[in-house]
Amino acid sequence: YGVTLPGWKKAKLTYRIVNHTPDMSKEDVDKAIQKAFKVWSTVTPLIFTRIHEGIADIMIAFGTKAHGHCPRYFDGPLGVLAHAFPPGSGFGGDVHFDEDEDWTTGSAGFNLFLVAAHEFGHALGLSHSNDQGALMFPNYAYVSPSEFPLSPDDISGIQSIYGSPPNVPDKRPASPTSPKTCGSQISFDAITTLRREVIFLKGRHLWRVYPDNSAVERELISTFWPILPPGIEAAYENMKDQILFFKGNKFWVISGYQVLLGYPKNINTLGFPKGIKKIDAAVCNKNTGKTHLFIGDKYWRFDENSQSMEKGYPRRIVNDFPGISQKIDAVFQQKGLFYFFHGSKQWEFDPTAKKVIREIKSNSWFNC
Amino acid sequence: LPVHPENDNKEDDAKLVQDYLNKFYAVEPDPNQLGWKINAESTAEKLQKMQQFFGLKVTGKPDTETLETMKKPRCGVPDVGL
């Protein structure tokens, strides 16, 4: 990603749609613009408010060729679709769309929502990315508007300017988490970190836990990743802002909302011998760049830097993780410590000291 | 004799390349003055920058893949500069 510094010095920004394209209904234009702003407000502390007259921070207009006092001009159909200016006064933050294009809500012509989301990236201080999967890549690429259009590169870029959204859910739980989750016999299929959250998976559901404020949200796995089957058996977040999900002898690599092309793959491609049919649990130690993959009473170690399985494995779990003697259902790392789960119990383990610190109930993260 | 088909579009391609590079690869920040200066790089150097940006083979020459990339609809903000 690239940035144009400084960004806006305030979190509340106004926008005004100066005119509309006749290609779409006014309502569709308004919706596309609003949705495009929401893309960025989802991942930053920024709040966007529409005004209908006067000077807004971000003035949005459709024009052709030389338009108004704009120092840049359009070129007729195709070619340049739109342009925007970095944060500032005057033209700063403004976004212009080429009216000689065919603007649409779908895949025909050019999707206004997608182009607007890209241009708003510029209006907020991003320049072009050479990551071809990024929204801020300069060339137009249609993706279904039902997919979240930002790549990890886009999110890293905008958060480098404005930071991440406040880590507070819209509604704090009025009461502790439901009895179902807090049942004393709760166990999990797999657990992984996802940036600052911890994701617990069981059956078709997942729980999103914000450890810093004990907030918990329960969702269907398919809401985020429709391609994943229920009953995921292992999951871990690697060093590249991706999550690997395992079920049977297959695994998926997911970046944001999207599964990387070519997945699922067979776990053999990671370097496992052919006899291995499934993984019980996995965790990447962010401090060392090594991923531990647990199967039965043994584990393998995968070097994330060289992307290869290390020699000398498998090794017995109990030898290198004294005190972890049960089969591992799930494991994750938080603040350097490992949390191993079996049934309704979890063990907090210090990988540096190589010892169990304490045994806790498996639902300790759920504000029960 | 009729012009060979391969030579038909050479002038158009040259114009496409020049226009493209002028629009998207022509300015850069002046580190000494906090302002801007017209990029003194040659066309070949700008073309190399463009090819590198788009993950193309960096030849400094307008090959077919480079021209195809230049013809794609895109954002009007330059790829270099601020």
In angstroms, the CA A165 to CA A40 distance is 10
Complex ipTM: 0.82
pLDDT, average across residues A23-35: 96
Selecting from B23, B24, B75 the residue whose C-beta is nearest the C-beta of A82 gives B75
In angstroms, the CA B79 to CA A129 distance is 8
Is pLDDT of A292 > 50? yes
DSSP 8-class letter at A7:
-
H or E segment to which residue A100 belongs: none
pLDDT, average across residues A133-139: 95
Of A164, A144, A140, nearest in space to A152 by CA: A164
Residues of chain A above pLDDT 90, percent: 68
How confident is residue A164, by pLDDT bands cut at 50, 70 and 90? confident
The pLDDT value recorded for residue A183 is 67
Is pLDDT of A322 > 80? yes
Q: Are A243 and A195 in contact (CB under 8 A)?
A: no
CB pairs A-B closer than 8 Å: 56
Please tell me which of A120-134, A254-268, B13-27 the model is most confident about, judged by mean pLDDT.
Answer: A120-134
The pLDDT value recorded for residue B35 is 45
β-partners of residue A110 are: A103
Which chain A residue's Cα is nearest to B51? A130
In angstroms, the CA A45 to CA A92 distance is 20
Distances (CA, A) of A62 to A18, A217, B60: 8, 41, 36
Is pLDDT of A255 > 80? yes
How confident is residue B72, by pLDDT bands cut at 50, 70 and 90? very high
For the question of residue A119 being annotated catalytic, the response is yes
Q: Using the structure block, give the residue that is written with the tokens 């794609």.
A: B72
DSSP 8-class letter at B75:
E
Q: Which residues contact B43 (CB under 8 A, 6 or more apart)?
A: B17, B18, B21
The pLDDT value recorded for residue A168 is 41
**Poorest-pLDDT segment among A183-187, A229-233, A348-352, B66-70:** A183-187
Q: Are A217 and A366 in contact (CB under 8 A)?
A: no
β-partners of residue A131 are: none
In angstroms, the CA B35 to CA B29 distance is 6
Q: Are A240 and A248 in contact (CB under 8 A)?
A: no
Mean pLDDT, chain A, rounded, equals 90
β-partners of residue A209 are: A198, A216
Which chain A residue's Cα is nearest to B29? A4
Of A231, A206, A207, A191, nearest in space to A338 by CA: A191
Question: Which of B28, B54, B66, B74 is the best mutation test for A, with the most CBs of A within 10 A?
Answer: B74
Is pLDDT of A40 > 80? yes
pLDDT digits (tens, 9 = 90+) for A202-252: 998 888 887 765 667 788 888 788 889 989 999 999 999 899 999 999 999
